[in-house]
Structure 1
Amino acid sequence: MEEQGKKVTKVPNLRFPGFEGEWETKKLEEIANKVNSGKTPLGGEAVYTKDGVLFIRSQNVNNDRLELDNSVFIPESVNNQMKNSIVRSNDILLNITGASLGRSCVVPEDFKMGNVNQHVCIIRLKQQYYPRFVQSIFSSYKGQTIFKSLQTGSGREGLNFESIRGLKLSLPHRNEQEKIGTLLSLIDERIKTQNKIIEGLETLKSTLMNKVFSQQLRFKDGNGNDFSEWSESKIGDILKIGNGKDYKHLKEGTIPVYGTGGYMTFVNEYLYDGETVCIGRKGTINKPMYYNGKMWTVDTLFYTHSFQSCIPKFIFYLFQTINWLEYNEASGVPSLSKTTIEKIKVQVPFLEEQDVISKFLSAIDQKIQVEKDISAQFKKQKKHLLRQIFV
């Protein structure tokens, strides 16, 4: 993609062997048979049905693929009234309004029937151009930069069809387009596979945690004997809860500061040193975090300390089983108090079984993290290729 008035090199930095020569520059309207969006059916959401013709919205165009988990449908009669926005396999779909502006995907080969709303643009290329190559240009850093520069409208982000049709693309021969598009599609498939592996492991962990903390799944001690029965305690009887504090008076340093959303910044002093489980005081109150070392928490995040007859890592997993929103004390932004948390009753085993449970669940977490790291590497590889492989 070319920026207006800016001359760019017509040869990419990274190229498959056997291809040479400069790429040619063409406007999108020169290589496409169709560039237009759909519309909202008369009656809006009221005409949606449980089955019928798939109706694609901007939330379905995500992560360089068509995601249909939360699909809606329209009657065939409505679809027939919107023939100009019927979607076909190998169409490129591009979000042209809202926060998801610039997201795109290629409609799969096995796609049967669908239609789109006004927030999604259909781009149907001429035969000599490869959809997965062109869509990858849209996803590249250069493509996203161009889309941001073309946004129009006051109060709402948007692309108009004149600017979309006028997009300048640098294109090689069809054979080279296919090589590049196929490679990037393979990486996308690998990322998709990684996501499925991660989802499967997270589902497994959730199932096992439910069984462990409902005591359907019990462990044996080192001699093969059953552990003692779990006992009931109030959270306040087995640990203490500390308040976070403001950090803005501190200097920059190496100590991490955490809020309810996770890491925020680094400072030069610490509020606590050691193993702790943090839980939100205000805002996000249902996502406990485990940390070990020197750290600081802001005033919207509690931290735990002074553990009695309990292991911090076990408490981390135990906290994940509590429905914290059930204890919300505010009608607006969710809030918890120390008093409320301290009164919550929990079932706790003896230390030896806590240790076994913690190590068992930690092993699954470590496996999940390994798979996430692999996924991150593929995403990094794709990002690098997108920067180097296009003109």
Structure 2
Amino acid sequence: MRVKKMNSQVPQGYQQTEAGVIPDDWEVVKMADIASFFKGKGISKKDISDDGIECIRYGELYTKYDEKIQNIASKTNLPIDQLFLSKKNDILIPASGETAIDLATASCVLKDNVALGGDINIIRSMQNGIYLSYYLNTVARNRIAKLAQGVSVIHLYSSHLKTLSISLPSKPEQQKIADILTIWDKVIEKQSALITQKQQLKNGLMQQLFSQQVRFKADGSDFPDWKEEKLGEIGKISMCKRILKKETNETKGVPFYKIGTFGKKTNAFISKELYEQYVEKYSFPKKGDILISAAGTIGRIVIYDGNPGYFQDSNIVWIDNNEDVILNSFLAYCYTRVNWQTENTTIPRLYNNILREVKIPLPLKLEQAKIANLLTLADDEISKLEQELNALKSQKKGLMQKLLTGQIRVTIN
């Protein structure tokens, strides 16, 4: 492929269009001019079966599929006359969702006779469906989102999609672009599968270690049998001092993590003065302490890294344990194996009295260290593979943008 450098001005050989700057030999068309539009027919959750006709429900477009749909996850036994069946190359876009940008999600079905559920916009075209799917998900995504309407539930109608202007290269160039991006997808899928395999191996190793099927030795001798202790006997359940809403702001200061931003990027801050005052006077985690979510998704853990940050009281707690008894590195892996129990309330919550009763295995400290070190090696390997996966996705995203706008041109044999 050959590359043309793009300047702030429209370069020679390119044209400014309503679909953006594109090569002179590409055309701009309305979706209504190149496609027919249909709507799927309702397939409810209770209509899913173990056998029957392969089917796609609109929610699966968010959770199971990307630009191409080859392997179908669900089946239905509904009568065929109650179904809308796909044709190979159909493009599917959700017709309703929680946000406009979520609706801008296109997938190309690569099989005939797949039943397509309700709330799915179906675009049927003689153009390359895989190319169009990539294009709609990338170059046109924000423009599609602007077409959606609604407040609590957002809707995207075929009448909106018909008005969308897109750029089209020749069919051979569409195919070549689709082929290149498909190769990248296969590399990404292979990397994802490798990560899944490594995670399964690590989980199996953890099971063997914690069930004591596999034991370490100390200078050739067996370690003694493990004890079992309640968390309340290992250390004190602690939490930060309560922060009032009026004491927070959205722009500057020390990060304040609420349960919704626990382990993520925060959207709230407190003053440095308040932070230093509360750290000095009240409970505060030490570097390496294991923070636990006691509300929302129960039992999520974050290892406190020692950087300035404050944590929502009662919703985020930790055990103030003595590392001469139990290492934090070992305790973190223990937490991942706990089946956390909650009070039977409207909102699930992990109360202190329940947390105190949770039982934790307690080998000698040296064996704890050996177990934690081995599992950390496995986690480090997985983390490296995940970083490589993210780099592949980032590289594909950049390449996709350039290919689909003609900044990089492909050679057609």
Q: Which of the five TM-score ranges fits, normalised by the shorter chain?
A: 0.7 to 0.9
Alpha-carbon distance in structure 1 between the residues aligned to 2:332 and 2:46 = 45
Contact preservation (8 Å) 1:10, 1:23 = no
Residue type of the alignment partner of 1:194: Q
How many residues in Structure 1 have an aligned counterpart in Structure 2? Answer: 364
Matches within 5 A, 1:121-270: 121-126=121-126, 129-140=127-138, 142-153=139-150, 155-221=152-218, 223-247=219-243, 249=247, 252-253=252-253, 257=257, 259=259, 261-265=262-266, 268=272, 269=275
For residues 31-77 of structure 1, what are the alpha-carbon distances to aligned partners after superposition, in whole Å with 9 as ceiling and x for unaligned? 22x32121126xx55554431111211133233343867513134xx
TM-score by length of 1: 0.84
Question: Against the structure 1 CA distance between its residues 46 and 333, is the aligned structure 2 distance closer, same or farther, given a 3 Å change threshold?
Answer: closer
Residue type of the alignment partner of 1:303: W
Partner SS, residue 286 of structure 2: strand
Residue type of the alignment partner of 1:37: K
Residue type of the alignment partner of 1:288: I
Alpha-carbon distance in structure 2 between the residues aligned to 1:346 and 1:155 = 44
Residue type of the alignment partner of 1:92: I
TM-score by length of 2: 0.80
Q: Shift of residue 244 of structure 1?
A: 2.8
Q: Shift of residue 356 of structure 1?
A: 0.5
Matches within 5 A, 1:27-106: 27-32=30-35, 34-40=36-42, 47-61=47-61, 62-66=65-69, 70-75=73-78, 78-82=79-83, 85-99=84-98, 100-106=102-108
Residue type of the alignment partner of 2:361: Q
Residue type of the alignment partner of 2:106: S
Residue type of the alignment partner of 1:229: D
Indicate yes or no: 2:362 matched with 1:348: yes
Indicate yes or no: 2:395 matched with 1:381: yes
What percentage of residue pairs aligned between the two structures are identical? Answer: 26
Q: Shift of residue 121 of structure 1?
A: 2.1
For residues 80-118 of structure 1, what are the alpha-carbon distances to aligned partners after superposition, in whole Å with 9 as ceiling and x for unaligned? 344xx311332222222223422221223xx35311112
Indicate yes or no: 2:349 matched with 1:335: yes
Q: Shift of residue 135 of structure 1?
A: 0.7
Alpha-carbon distance in structure 2 between the residues aligned to 1:48 and 1:273 = 50
Partner SS, residue 274 of structure 1: coil
Contact preservation (8 Å) 1:55, 1:74 = no
Alpha-carbon distance in structure 2 between the residues aligned to 1:69 and 1:38 = 16
For residues 248-277 of structure 1, what are the alpha-carbon distances to aligned partners after superposition, in whole Å with 9 as ceiling and x for unaligned? 636834667464642343664453331111
Question: Against the structure 1 CA distance between its residues 46 and 254, is the aligned structure 2 distance closer, same or farther, given a 3 Å change threshold?
Answer: closer
Residue type of the alignment partner of 2:320: H
Output the aligned Cα RMSD: 2.7
The gaps in structure 1 that reach 5 residues or longer are 12-19
Aligned to 1:280: 293
Q: Shift of residue 207 of structure 1?
A: 2.0
Alpha-carbon distance in structure 2 between the residues aligned to 1:255 and 1:74 = 52
Contact preservation (8 Å) 1:10, 1:24 = no
Alpha-carbon distance in structure 2 between the residues aligned to 1:338 and 1:45 = 38
Partner SS, residue 159 of structure 2: helix
Contact preservation (8 Å) 1:93, 1:105 = yes
Alpha-carbon distance in structure 2 between the residues aligned to 1:317 and 1:139 = 39
For residues 165-206 of structure 1, what are the alpha-carbon distances to aligned partners after superposition, in whole Å with 9 as ceiling and x for unaligned? 222111111222122222222222222222222222222222
Residue type of the alignment partner of 1:139: N
The correspondence for 2:318, drawn from 298, 303, 307, is 303
Partner SS, residue 207 of structure 2: helix
Contact preservation (8 Å) 2:18, 2:165 = no
Q: Shift of residue 366 of structure 1?
A: 0.9
Question: Against the structure 1 CA distance between its residues 205 and 256, is the aligned structure 2 distance closer, same or farther, given a 3 Å change threshold?
Answer: farther
Residue type of the alignment partner of 1:160: Y
Question: Against the structure 1 CA distance between its residues 155 and 255, is the aligned structure 2 distance closer, same or farther, given a 3 Å change threshold?
Answer: closer
The gaps in structure 2 that reach 5 residues or longer are 1-15, 406-413
Alpha-carbon distance in structure 1 between the residues aligned to 2:34 and 2:221 = 72
Alpha-carbon distance in structure 1 between the residues aligned to 2:359 and 2:89 = 56
